[in-house]
């Protein structure tokens, strides 16, 4: 073997070993590298999750998404959402967020849908009070109270505004769109509002008014100042003149007005 051939073979071996070493280092770097810093694990819904439903393991999955597109309250592990209650309906592919889930601490799932500082009160309704059956979970309503006054007339006043409907009868699902006649509506309100509602139910009849979802303005109830009754002072009757005919032979007539006495002479 000539020296030239030996040099070429040696060079080929060296280059081959160098290439193999570089490929091995690149592969190890890719295998041992951490996930792309611009990506993040996110839990999404694999099926539709209805309002008030408990999240189950088969309903969620973990995907990778760019960090700038992930909400701050998103979850990065499926075990963090399993067992929670959906406070909003979620479609397939929606990101599960903390603002749309509530902890289930036992009891009914409806109890988990109530905000910590509020209460749930059920109101008995009929097809009229229930706005013709168009009240569904998630709607917003006003409460009007009507009572009979002492003079036989009725007066009505809005006692509560912008209350959220938690359930109709025993249904808390928001996937219905057709009117359903129900017997009871469960409303979410503060303890102070609950006292006003119970007082209104005791004093008279309640009526629910359906609100537009975009209307979140509350108008304070107009306070009507009581009108003081003005006592009429009796007007004394006008004193009529008392006319007395004087004795025969006297040509005068005596006219008495109150304490005033006048004598009017007459021509006979």
pLDDT at 154 (0 to 100): 78
Q: Which residues pair with 156 in a beta bridge?
A: 146
Query: Has residue 188 been placed in a domain?
Result: yes
Q: Of how many residues is the chain composed?
A: 268
In a domain, 221, yes or no: no
Q: What is the 3-state secondary structure (H, E, C) of the chain?
A: CCHHHHHHHHHHHHHHHHHHHHHHHHHHHHHHCCCCCCEEEEEEECCCECCCCECCHHHEEEEEEEHHHCCCCECCCHHHCCCCEECCCECCCCECEHHHEECCCCCCHHHHHCCCCCEEEEEECCCCCCHHHCCCCCCEEEEEEEEECCCCCEEEEEEEEEEEEEEECCECCCCCCCCCCCCEEEEEECHHHHHHHHHHHHHCEEEEEECCCCCCCCCCCCCCCCCCCCCCCCCCCCCCCEEEECCCCCCEEEEEECCEEEEEECCC
**What per-residue confidence (pLDDT) applies to 233?**
47
Q: 147 and 196, same structural domain? A: yes
Neighbour tally for 16: CB within 10 Å: 10
- Each of the 268 residues of the chain gets a pLDDT tens digit; together they read 567 787 877 888 888 888 888 888 887 776 665 555 688 999 999 999 887 788 999 999 999 999 888 999 999 999 999 988 887 888 999 999 988 888 876 666 677 778 888 888 888 876 666 676 677 788 888 888 888 777 777 788 888 998 988 888 766 655 555 666 678 888 999 999 999 888 888 877 888 888 887 776 766 544 333 333 334 445 555 555 555 555 555 555 665 665 565 655 555 4
If asked whether residues 119 and 181 sit together in one domain, one would say: yes
Last residue of a domain, one of 90, 110, 130: 110
Is the CB of residue 159 less than 8 Å from the CB of residue 207?
A: no
Residues 120 and 170 in one domain: yes
Q: 118 and 106 share a domain?
A: no
Structural domain includes residue 106: yes
| Residue 33 lies inside a defined structural domain of this protein | no
Question: What confidence score (pLDDT) does residue 79 get?
Answer: 92
| pLDDT number for residue 262 | 62
Residue 5 lies in a domain: no
Domain assignment present for residue 159? The answer is yes
CATH number, domain containing residue 66: 3.90.1210.10
Which pLDDT value is given to residue 232? Answer: 45
pLDDT at 136: 79
**Into how many domains does the chain fold?**
3
Residue 268 domain boundaries: 238-268
Same domain, yes or no: 69 and 55? yes
Residues 101 and 173 in one domain: no
Residues 140 and 177 in one domain: yes
Domain membership of residue 25 (yes or no) is no
Instruction: Please tell me the predicted confidence (pLDDT) of residue 207.
Output: 84
pLDDT of residue 30: 67
Is there a single domain that holds both residue 100 and residue 151? no
Same domain, 53 and 124: no
In a domain, 22, yes or no: no
């Amino acid at each position: 073997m000539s020296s030239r051939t030996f040099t070429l073979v040696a060079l080929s071996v060296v280059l081959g070993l160098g290439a193999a070493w570089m490929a091995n280092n690149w592969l190890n770097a890719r295998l041992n590298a951490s996930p792309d810093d611009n990506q993040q694990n996110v839990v999404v819904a694999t099926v539709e999750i209805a309002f008030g439903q408990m999240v189950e393991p088969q309903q969620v999955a973990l995907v990778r998404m760019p960090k700038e597109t992930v909400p701050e309250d998103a979850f990065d592990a499926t075990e963090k959402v399993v067992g929670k209650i959906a406070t909003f309906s979620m479609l397939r592919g929606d990101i599960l967020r903390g603002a749309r889930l509530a902890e289930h601490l036992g009891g009914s799932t409806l109890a988990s849908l109530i905000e910590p500082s509020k209460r749930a009160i059920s109101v008995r309704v009929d097809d009229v009070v229930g706005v013709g059956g168009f009240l569904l979970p998630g709607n917003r309503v006003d409460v009007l109270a009507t009572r009979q006054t002492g003079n036989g007339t009725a007066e009505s006043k809005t006692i509560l505004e912008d209350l959220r409907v938690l359930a109709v009868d025993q249904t808390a699902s928001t996937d219905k769109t057709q009117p359903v006649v129900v017997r009871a509506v469960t409303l979410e309100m503060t303890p102070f509002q609950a006292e006003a509602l119970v007082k209104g139910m005791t004093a008279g009849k309640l009526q629910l008014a359906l609100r537009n979802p975009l209307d979140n303005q509350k108008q304070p109830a107009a306070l009507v100042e009581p009108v003081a009754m003005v006592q009429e002072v009796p007007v004394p009757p006008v004193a009529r003149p008392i006319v007395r005919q004087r004795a025969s032979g006297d040509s005068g007539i005596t006219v008495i007005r109150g304490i005033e006495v006048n004598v009017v002479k007459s021509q006979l």
